[in-house]
Structure 1
Protein backbone atom coordinates (compact mmCIF):
# COMPACT_ATOMS: atom_id res chain seq x y z
CA UNK A 1 0.00 0.00 0.00
CA UNK A 2 1.37 3.39 -0.92
CA UNK A 3 1.61 6.07 1.78
CA UNK A 4 -0.96 8.84 1.93
CA UNK A 5 0.13 12.08 0.29
CA UNK A 6 1.30 14.78 2.69
CA UNK A 7 -1.29 17.27 3.81
CA UNK A 8 -1.02 20.62 2.04
CA UNK A 9 -0.79 23.84 4.00
CA UNK A 10 -4.16 25.39 4.69
CA UNK A 11 -4.66 29.01 3.80
CA UNK A 12 -4.82 31.04 6.97
CA UNK A 13 -3.24 28.17 8.95
CA UNK A 14 -2.86 30.46 11.97
CA UNK A 15 -6.66 30.56 12.29
CA UNK A 16 -7.19 26.81 11.87
CA UNK A 17 -8.27 24.62 14.77
CA UNK A 18 -7.12 21.03 14.57
CA UNK A 19 -6.99 19.71 18.13
CA UNK A 20 -9.71 17.23 18.94
CA UNK A 21 -10.56 18.98 22.22
CA UNK A 22 -11.51 22.19 20.42
CA UNK A 23 -13.49 20.65 17.57
CA UNK A 24 -17.22 21.36 17.37
CA UNK A 25 -19.25 18.42 18.76
CA UNK A 26 -20.36 17.15 15.34
CA UNK A 27 -16.80 17.33 14.01
CA UNK A 28 -15.56 15.50 17.11
CA UNK A 29 -17.94 12.63 16.26
CA UNK A 30 -16.48 12.52 12.75
CA UNK A 31 -12.90 12.59 14.12
CA UNK A 32 -13.72 9.75 16.52
CA UNK A 33 -15.17 7.70 13.66
CA UNK A 34 -12.02 8.29 11.59
CA UNK A 35 -9.78 7.29 14.50
CA UNK A 36 -11.82 4.14 15.18
CA UNK A 37 -11.49 3.21 11.50
CA UNK A 38 -7.72 3.74 11.67
CA UNK A 39 -7.73 6.62 9.18
CA UNK A 40 -4.78 8.93 9.69
CA UNK A 41 -6.04 12.39 8.79
CA UNK A 42 -7.07 15.57 10.54
CA UNK A 43 -10.26 17.55 10.84
CA UNK A 44 -9.62 21.19 10.01
CA UNK A 45 -11.90 23.95 11.28
CA UNK A 46 -11.82 26.90 8.90
CA UNK A 47 -12.31 30.51 9.99
CA UNK A 48 -14.99 30.98 7.30
CA UNK A 49 -17.84 28.79 6.10
CA UNK A 50 -17.17 26.26 3.35
CA UNK A 51 -20.79 25.48 2.43
CA UNK A 52 -20.03 25.40 -1.28
CA UNK A 53 -17.37 23.52 -3.22
CA UNK A 54 -15.91 26.81 -4.44
CA UNK A 55 -15.61 28.16 -0.87
CA UNK A 56 -14.01 24.95 0.35
CA UNK A 57 -11.57 24.79 -2.57
CA UNK A 58 -10.48 28.38 -1.96
CA UNK A 59 -10.04 27.72 1.76
CA UNK A 60 -7.84 24.63 1.35
CA UNK A 61 -6.13 25.60 -1.90
CA UNK A 62 -7.27 22.73 -4.11
CA UNK A 63 -9.18 22.30 -7.36
CA UNK A 64 -12.98 22.54 -7.06
CA UNK A 65 -13.19 19.01 -8.49
CA UNK A 66 -11.20 17.67 -5.50
CA UNK A 67 -13.98 18.72 -3.14
CA UNK A 68 -16.25 15.77 -2.31
CA UNK A 69 -19.74 17.16 -1.84
CA UNK A 70 -21.99 15.08 0.42
CA UNK A 71 -25.54 15.10 -0.89
CA UNK A 72 -28.33 13.32 0.93
CA UNK A 73 -30.92 12.29 -1.63
CA UNK A 74 -33.90 10.00 -1.62
CA UNK A 75 -33.96 7.10 -4.07
CA UNK A 76 -37.49 5.74 -4.29
CA UNK A 77 -38.09 7.36 -0.90
CA UNK A 78 -35.07 5.87 0.90
CA UNK A 79 -32.24 8.19 1.99
CA UNK A 80 -28.87 7.66 0.32
CA UNK A 81 -25.61 9.59 0.44
CA UNK A 82 -24.06 10.63 -2.86
CA UNK A 83 -20.49 11.94 -2.81
CA UNK A 84 -19.95 14.10 -5.89
CA UNK A 85 -17.01 16.00 -7.26
CA UNK A 86 -17.40 19.71 -6.58
CA UNK A 87 -16.95 20.26 -10.31
CA UNK A 88 -20.22 18.47 -11.07
CA UNK A 89 -23.91 19.14 -10.85
CA UNK A 90 -25.82 15.91 -10.45
CA UNK A 91 -27.91 14.84 -13.42
CA UNK A 92 -30.85 13.19 -11.64
CA UNK A 93 -31.79 11.16 -14.73
CA UNK A 94 -28.29 9.71 -15.03
CA UNK A 95 -28.11 9.08 -11.28
CA UNK A 96 -31.58 7.51 -11.20
CA UNK A 97 -30.54 5.06 -13.92
CA UNK A 98 -27.24 4.29 -12.14
CA UNK A 99 -29.05 3.57 -8.86
CA UNK A 100 -31.87 1.64 -10.52
CA UNK A 101 -34.37 3.98 -8.88
CA UNK A 102 -37.58 5.26 -10.44
CA UNK A 103 -37.26 8.55 -8.58
CA UNK A 104 -34.27 10.40 -7.13
CA UNK A 105 -34.71 13.74 -5.35
CA UNK A 106 -32.93 16.02 -2.90
CA UNK A 107 -33.79 15.10 0.69
CA UNK A 108 -35.49 17.81 2.76
CA UNK A 109 -33.27 19.50 5.36
CA UNK A 110 -35.11 17.83 8.24
CA UNK A 111 -34.42 14.38 6.79
CA UNK A 112 -30.76 15.26 6.19
CA UNK A 113 -30.38 16.24 9.85
CA UNK A 114 -32.29 13.14 11.01
CA UNK A 115 -30.21 10.60 9.07
CA UNK A 116 -26.79 12.27 9.41
CA UNK A 117 -27.01 14.30 12.61
CA UNK A 118 -25.49 17.12 10.55
CA UNK A 119 -26.78 20.18 8.71
CA UNK A 120 -26.73 20.72 4.96
CA UNK A 121 -23.43 22.32 4.02
CA UNK A 122 -21.48 20.33 6.60
CA UNK A 123 -22.51 16.72 5.98
CA UNK A 124 -19.54 14.42 6.37
CA UNK A 125 -19.31 11.07 4.62
CA UNK A 126 -19.15 9.36 8.05
CA UNK A 127 -20.16 9.90 11.66
CA UNK A 128 -23.89 9.42 11.13
CA UNK A 129 -26.21 7.74 13.66
CA UNK A 130 -26.46 4.77 11.24
CA UNK A 131 -24.50 4.20 8.03
CA UNK A 132 -26.19 5.35 4.83
CA UNK A 133 -25.97 3.51 1.55
CA UNK A 134 -23.35 5.58 -0.23
CA UNK A 135 -22.55 6.23 -3.87
CA UNK A 136 -19.35 7.95 -4.99
CA UNK A 137 -18.83 9.97 -8.16
CA UNK A 138 -16.32 8.02 -10.23
CA UNK A 139 -14.55 11.26 -11.19
CA UNK A 140 -13.23 11.68 -7.63
CA UNK A 141 -10.75 8.86 -8.41
CA UNK A 142 -8.56 11.22 -10.42
CA UNK A 143 -7.46 13.22 -7.37
CA UNK A 144 -4.60 12.09 -5.12
CA UNK A 145 -6.32 13.90 -2.26
CA UNK A 146 -9.91 14.96 -1.87
CA UNK A 147 -11.53 17.15 0.76
CA UNK A 148 -14.87 16.44 2.40
CA UNK A 149 -16.98 18.21 5.00
CA UNK A 150 -16.39 17.05 8.56
CA UNK A 151 -19.72 17.61 10.31
CA UNK A 152 -20.14 21.40 10.12
CA UNK A 153 -19.99 24.03 7.35
CA UNK A 154 -16.69 25.23 8.87
CA UNK A 155 -14.91 21.88 9.09
CA UNK A 156 -13.24 19.79 6.40
CA UNK A 157 -10.91 16.81 6.18
CA UNK A 158 -8.49 15.51 3.57
CA UNK A 159 -8.87 11.91 2.43
CA UNK A 160 -7.60 9.74 -0.37
CA UNK A 161 -10.20 8.28 -2.69
CA UNK A 162 -9.52 4.83 -1.26
CA UNK A 163 -10.01 6.09 2.30
CA UNK A 164 -13.36 7.59 1.28
CA UNK A 165 -14.46 4.40 -0.42
CA UNK A 166 -13.33 2.19 2.46
CA UNK A 167 -14.90 4.40 5.15
CA UNK A 168 -18.27 4.58 3.41
CA UNK A 169 -18.43 1.27 1.57
CA UNK A 170 -19.40 3.51 -1.33
CA UNK A 171 -20.35 2.21 -4.74
CA UNK A 172 -18.92 3.99 -7.78
CA UNK A 173 -21.45 5.76 -9.99
CA UNK A 174 -21.56 8.27 -12.77
CA UNK A 175 -23.46 11.41 -11.73
CA UNK A 176 -23.29 13.52 -14.91
Structure 2
Protein backbone atom coordinates (compact mmCIF):
# COMPACT_ATOMS: atom_id res chain seq x y z
CA UNK A 1 0.00 0.00 0.00
CA UNK A 2 1.22 3.52 -0.70
CA UNK A 3 2.19 5.73 2.23
CA UNK A 4 -0.16 8.72 1.95
CA UNK A 5 0.77 12.29 2.77
CA UNK A 6 -2.63 13.79 3.67
CA UNK A 7 -1.21 17.25 4.43
CA UNK A 8 0.39 17.51 1.00
CA UNK A 9 -2.78 16.31 -0.73
CA UNK A 10 -4.91 18.77 1.28
CA UNK A 11 -2.54 21.58 0.27
CA UNK A 12 -2.87 20.64 -3.41
CA UNK A 13 -6.66 20.44 -3.14
CA UNK A 14 -6.92 23.88 -1.55
CA UNK A 15 -4.00 25.83 -3.08
CA UNK A 16 -4.91 29.15 -4.66
CA UNK A 17 -2.68 31.64 -6.44
CA UNK A 18 -2.68 35.14 -4.99
CA UNK A 19 -3.16 37.98 -7.49
CA UNK A 20 0.20 39.71 -7.92
CA UNK A 21 -1.39 43.14 -7.38
CA UNK A 22 -2.42 42.06 -3.84
CA UNK A 23 1.14 41.13 -2.80
CA UNK A 24 3.14 43.55 -0.68
CA UNK A 25 6.48 43.83 1.07
CA UNK A 26 8.25 42.06 2.52
CA UNK A 27 9.29 39.61 -0.15
CA UNK A 28 11.51 36.62 0.57
CA UNK A 29 15.17 37.29 1.22
CA UNK A 30 17.77 35.42 -0.81
CA UNK A 31 18.10 32.91 2.02
CA UNK A 32 14.32 32.44 2.20
CA UNK A 33 14.07 32.08 -1.58
CA UNK A 34 16.82 29.45 -1.88
CA UNK A 35 14.75 26.48 -0.58
CA UNK A 36 11.88 27.47 -2.89
CA UNK A 37 14.22 27.46 -5.91
CA UNK A 38 15.64 24.14 -4.71
CA UNK A 39 12.15 22.63 -4.61
CA UNK A 40 11.34 23.97 -8.09
CA UNK A 41 14.57 22.54 -9.52
CA UNK A 42 13.38 19.05 -8.51
CA UNK A 43 10.80 19.15 -11.31
CA UNK A 44 10.66 16.38 -13.93
CA UNK A 45 13.57 16.77 -16.33
CA UNK A 46 13.88 14.01 -18.91
CA UNK A 47 17.49 13.40 -19.82
CA UNK A 48 18.76 15.61 -16.97
CA UNK A 49 19.12 18.50 -19.42
CA UNK A 50 18.11 21.24 -16.99
CA UNK A 51 16.28 23.05 -19.79
CA UNK A 52 15.56 26.02 -17.52
CA UNK A 53 17.23 28.52 -15.25
CA UNK A 54 16.18 31.28 -12.86
CA UNK A 55 16.53 35.05 -13.07
CA UNK A 56 15.55 36.60 -9.74
CA UNK A 57 14.17 40.12 -10.12
CA UNK A 58 14.53 42.05 -6.88
CA UNK A 59 12.73 45.25 -5.90
CA UNK A 60 15.51 47.55 -7.11
CA UNK A 61 15.24 46.21 -10.67
CA UNK A 62 11.47 46.61 -10.93
CA UNK A 63 11.38 50.32 -11.99
CA UNK A 64 13.93 49.72 -14.78
CA UNK A 65 11.97 46.71 -16.07
CA UNK A 66 8.66 48.61 -15.86
CA UNK A 67 10.13 51.42 -17.99
CA UNK A 68 11.59 48.92 -20.46
CA UNK A 69 8.27 47.07 -20.73
CA UNK A 70 6.58 50.39 -21.52
CA UNK A 71 9.20 51.31 -24.13
CA UNK A 72 8.90 47.92 -25.84
CA UNK A 73 5.10 47.99 -25.74
CA UNK A 74 5.01 51.45 -27.30
CA UNK A 75 7.50 50.35 -29.98
CA UNK A 76 5.07 47.54 -30.86
CA UNK A 77 2.22 50.07 -31.14
CA UNK A 78 0.16 48.72 -28.24
CA UNK A 79 -2.76 50.85 -27.02
CA UNK A 80 -2.51 52.73 -23.70
CA UNK A 81 -4.32 50.05 -21.67
CA UNK A 82 -1.98 47.37 -23.01
CA UNK A 83 1.06 49.56 -22.31
CA UNK A 84 -0.11 50.07 -18.72
CA UNK A 85 -0.71 46.34 -18.32
CA UNK A 86 2.74 45.52 -19.76
CA UNK A 87 4.48 47.58 -17.10
CA UNK A 88 2.11 46.96 -14.18
CA UNK A 89 3.57 43.66 -12.95
CA UNK A 90 6.94 45.41 -12.55
CA UNK A 91 5.43 48.63 -11.15
CA UNK A 92 3.64 46.58 -8.50
CA UNK A 93 6.24 43.84 -8.02
CA UNK A 94 8.42 43.26 -4.98
CA UNK A 95 10.21 40.10 -6.10
CA UNK A 96 9.71 37.89 -9.13
CA UNK A 97 11.52 34.85 -10.40
CA UNK A 98 11.66 34.63 -14.17
CA UNK A 99 11.74 30.95 -15.04
CA UNK A 100 13.72 30.81 -18.24
CA UNK A 101 13.22 27.93 -20.66
CA UNK A 102 16.59 27.02 -22.17
CA UNK A 103 16.22 24.88 -25.28
CA UNK A 104 19.14 22.44 -25.48
CA UNK A 105 20.00 20.24 -28.44
CA UNK A 106 19.22 16.61 -27.67
CA UNK A 107 18.78 13.59 -29.93
CA UNK A 108 16.56 11.96 -27.28
CA UNK A 109 14.57 14.78 -25.65
CA UNK A 110 12.24 16.71 -27.98
CA UNK A 111 11.93 20.48 -27.61
CA UNK A 112 8.33 20.16 -26.45
CA UNK A 113 9.39 18.04 -23.46
CA UNK A 114 11.87 20.74 -22.50
CA UNK A 115 9.03 23.26 -22.65
CA UNK A 116 6.87 21.03 -20.44
CA UNK A 117 9.73 20.76 -17.94
CA UNK A 118 10.04 24.56 -17.74
CA UNK A 119 6.28 24.79 -17.11
CA UNK A 120 6.58 22.19 -14.37
CA UNK A 121 9.29 24.34 -12.74
CA UNK A 122 6.92 27.32 -12.76
CA UNK A 123 4.17 25.37 -11.02
CA UNK A 124 6.60 23.80 -8.55
CA UNK A 125 7.99 27.22 -7.62
CA UNK A 126 4.49 28.66 -7.27
CA UNK A 127 3.42 25.78 -5.01
CA UNK A 128 6.64 25.90 -2.97
CA UNK A 129 6.12 29.62 -2.32
CA UNK A 130 2.50 29.07 -1.29
CA UNK A 131 3.44 26.10 0.91
CA UNK A 132 6.07 28.27 2.62
CA UNK A 133 3.38 30.81 3.51
CA UNK A 134 4.08 33.46 0.87
CA UNK A 135 1.59 34.86 -1.57
CA UNK A 136 2.53 33.94 -5.13
CA UNK A 137 1.29 34.29 -8.68
CA UNK A 138 2.46 32.98 -12.08
CA UNK A 139 2.26 35.70 -14.74
CA UNK A 140 3.39 36.01 -18.32
CA UNK A 141 2.08 38.83 -20.51
CA UNK A 142 3.58 41.03 -23.20
CA UNK A 143 7.02 41.42 -21.64
CA UNK A 144 7.59 37.68 -21.39
CA UNK A 145 7.14 37.27 -25.15
CA UNK A 146 8.81 40.43 -26.44
CA UNK A 147 12.33 39.57 -27.68
CA UNK A 148 13.62 43.10 -27.13
CA UNK A 149 12.46 43.09 -23.52
CA UNK A 150 13.83 39.67 -22.66
CA UNK A 151 17.18 40.33 -24.34
CA UNK A 152 17.77 43.76 -22.81
CA UNK A 153 15.96 43.32 -19.52
CA UNK A 154 16.86 39.74 -18.64
CA UNK A 155 19.86 38.96 -20.82
CA UNK A 156 18.23 36.03 -22.62
CA UNK A 157 19.97 34.27 -25.50
CA UNK A 158 18.23 33.26 -28.73
CA UNK A 159 17.57 29.73 -27.42
CA UNK A 160 15.85 31.04 -24.28
CA UNK A 161 12.39 32.34 -23.47
CA UNK A 162 10.37 33.21 -20.38
CA UNK A 163 8.16 30.37 -19.20
CA UNK A 164 6.70 32.62 -16.51
CA UNK A 165 7.27 35.31 -13.94
CA UNK A 166 6.55 33.93 -10.48
CA UNK A 167 5.79 36.89 -8.20
CA UNK A 168 6.39 36.12 -4.52
CA UNK A 169 5.74 38.43 -1.56
CA UNK A 170 3.45 38.86 1.43
CA UNK A 171 -0.21 38.10 0.94
CA UNK A 172 -2.47 41.01 1.87
CA UNK A 173 -5.86 39.46 1.10
CA UNK A 174 -7.02 35.89 0.60
CA UNK A 175 -8.70 35.62 -2.77
CA UNK A 176 -12.16 34.10 -2.96
CA UNK A 177 -12.47 30.58 -4.27
CA UNK A 178 -13.21 30.39 -7.96
CA UNK A 179 -15.08 27.79 -9.99
CA UNK A 180 -12.99 24.71 -10.70
CA UNK A 181 -13.21 22.36 -13.69
CA UNK A 182 -15.91 19.72 -13.73
CA UNK A 183 -13.83 16.57 -13.29
CA UNK A 184 -16.40 14.38 -15.05
CA UNK A 185 -16.33 16.71 -18.05
CA UNK A 186 -12.56 16.56 -18.49
CA UNK A 187 -11.85 12.91 -17.65
CA UNK A 188 -12.03 9.88 -19.90
CA UNK A 189 -11.49 6.34 -18.61
CA UNK A 190 -10.05 3.53 -20.74
CA UNK A 191 -10.66 0.14 -19.15
CA UNK A 192 -9.85 -2.32 -21.91
Report if TM-score (shorter chain) is over 0.5. Answer: no
Q: Which has the larger radius of gyration?
A: 2
Structure showing the higher helix proportion among its residues: 2
After TM superposition, the score normalised by the length of structure 1 is 0.31
